[in-house]
A = this chain, B = another copy of it.
Amino acid sequence: MAHGLDKAETHSPTWRWLGLELATVETGAAAVVMPTRAEMGNHAGVVHGGFISLLADSAMGRSVATAYPEGERHYSFDLKLTFISPGRIGESLRAVAKVLHSGRRTGVAECRVEGDDGRLIATATASFIVYLPKE
């Protein structure tokens, strides 16, 4: 569910649990930050790709919300990620998402996930099915 640019937003259970925070938001874009912690580690001792995926999906969904009026709903349908360098346990990861397309039935966004030193951790694209509010 989306609330455009309304800043007083209520976080979802996932955002609260993992500590995701909206860093910036404007029409067509959003940046979301996620702190990482020891429980997010994989066998190689770096951040499990699934959490990076979750962060990217969250930021892209948030960006898509800014492109539609209050009351629309959108669901990620396709999610594509490329993992480029590992996330280190303890650093905050930042996902910067941008809307590429906002049609009546579908929305498309892309995203970069960066480490706290700005290195590129992953790149992602997502497609969303959009339900516009009844007029």
Q: Which of A12, A82, A101 has the most B CB atoms < 10 Å from its CB?
A: A82
Task: List 12 A-B pairs, Cβ < 8 Å.
Answer: A13-B38, A13-B40, A49-B79, A50-B54, A50-B55, A78-B78, A78-B82, A79-B79, A80-B125, A82-B127, A110-B123, A127-B127
Q: How large is the interface on A (under 10, 10 to 19, 20 to 34, 35 or more residues)?
A: 35 or more
A129 at the B interface (CB under 8 A): yes
A106 at the B interface (CB under 8 A): yes
A64 at the B interface (CB under 8 A): no
**A54 CA to B58 CA in the complex, in Å?**
13
A97 at the B interface (CB under 8 A): no
A132 at the B interface (CB under 8 A): no
